[in-house]
Amino acid sequence: MQALYGRPVFVVEGDTFFWEDVVLDAIRRGKWTALEQEAREGFAALEEIDSSDGDDEFETAVEEAAQEFRYARDLVSAQEMEDWLAVHEVSLREWMEHIRRQTARARTPLGLSALVARHPIDAEQLDAALRVDLICTGTGEDLAAELAGRAAAAAGNPAPASLETDEPLPSRIPLGISPERAQERINHLARIDEGAELFRRNAVTPEAIRREIGHHHTEWIRIDSRAIAFHDEAGAREAAMCMREDGLALDDVAAAAHATVAESRFYLDDLDPEVRPIFMAARPVEVLGPILFEGAHTLFRVVDKVMPSEKDPEILRRAETGVATRIMAAQAQQRVQWQLPW
């Protein structure tokens, strides 16, 4: 990461934000530790594979992952790939090591903690790996976009100039950022957060929330139901027939099948698109299924269908998030000038 510090990422109303701002913001929000751990796991998993006698299947998987990376970015020709690497200042070797780390980690779902302990990575190796990982995975762009949205919102409703901020430094500052620089930028990021929150509170009005709920009138319908899950479809179909034709109660069917009745509450847009119409058309007390739901053949008895309302805390949260996300995206579109060729 040290190689990136001091480089502008974006500008908002003349205020320039650098890579160290993106990193420090991720640290403040508790997102950096997971990124470091993933880098350690990738390094350790690759070290374990490289220390073995070799794995032809692994090398084939690496080649496939490299192809997927290129096709996802429309880098079909070798020249296009070279140009992308040059623009992002990543060498071919660094890119391939990134692909190998990612592939090794994906092929090692268990025992990663033990591998990390067996193959520790020093601070400089971690720093170098993180730089390439952030660029090649798109995580750096995502973190920067999140910060840019808040910075743009803050520019639309800045915090008072008199606001005093002296946010404590994190327990560990990444390699290459001095404590003085970190404190300066963290204080600036704290002021950005204050301004963004002021903007959000002013923009997320009761009227805006009602409009947002109206826009999602159908997909935010809440389904209250009781459900029984079966491992096999035949058993589920037999249970459904007992309920529909013989009039057996859900609890009786569950008892006969030694199954548990689960109280279930979800919203239409939580469901797969092909299943939504079934629940949309369902009447209360109607038996639905069997439906393949979360890997099981499931019978549902619909108890109630509730239209979206701001009195529902989950609907209110969704509406507030939707309004805030949209208005902050609009501010970013208007105010952010990107300095990097993502």
For residue 160, what pLDDT band results from cuts at 50, 70 and 90? low
* Residue 168 pLDDT: 84
State the Cα–Cα distance between residues 159 and 196, nearest whole angstrom: 8
Q: Give the sheet arrangement for strand 296-306, strand by strand.
A: 262-267, 222-230, 296-306, 287-293
**Orientation of helix 179-203 relative to helix 19-28, angle to 10°:** 70
- 4, 95, 217 from 92: Cα distances, Å: 18, 5, 50
What are 180-235's pLDDT values in tens digits?
999 999 999 999 999 999 999 998 999 999 999 999 999 999 999 999 999 889 99
For residue 72, what pLDDT band results from cuts at 50, 70 and 90? very high
Provide the H-helix boundaries in 138-275: 139-156, 179-203, 206-215, 233-245, 250-256
Structure-block tokens of residue 166: 């002296």
Question: With 90 as the cut, is the pLDDT of residue 257 above it?
Answer: no
For residue 78, what pLDDT band results from cuts at 50, 70 and 90? very high
* Residue 341 pLDDT: 85
164 φψ region: left (φ > 0), alpha (ψ -120 to 50), beta (else)? beta
Is 145:336 a contact under the CB 8 Å cutoff? no
Question: With 90 as the cut, is the pLDDT of residue 174 above it?
Answer: no
Q: What angle do CA 18, 89, 26 make, to 5 degrees?
A: 35
- The backbone torsions φ and ψ at residue 174, rounded to the nearest 5 degrees and listed phi first, read -60, 150
What are 100-145's pLDDT values in tens digits?
999 999 999 888 999 999 999 999 999 999 999 999 999 999 999 9
Helix (H) or strand (E) segment spanning residue 292:
strand 287-293
CA diameter of the chain = 76
* Residue 19 pLDDT: 96
Is 120:36 a contact under the CB 8 Å cutoff? no
Q: Which of 66, 140, 91 is nearest to 342 (CA)?
A: 140
Amino acid at 159: A
State the Cα–Cα distance between residues 167 and 156, nearest whole angstrom: 23
Count other Cβ atoms within 10 Å, centred on residue 287. 18
SS3 111: coil
Structure-block tokens of residue 213: 């709920």
Domain ranges of the chain: 8-150, 222-306
What are 259-274's pLDDT values in tens digits?
889 998 999 999 989 8
DSSP string computed for 20-53: HHHHHHHHHTT-HHHHHHHHHHHHHHHHHHHTSS
Question: With 90 as the cut, is the pLDDT of residue 159 above it?
Answer: no
Question: With 60 as the cut, is the pLDDT of residue 164 above it?
Answer: no
Flag the least confident range among 4-13, 66-75, 171-180: 171-180
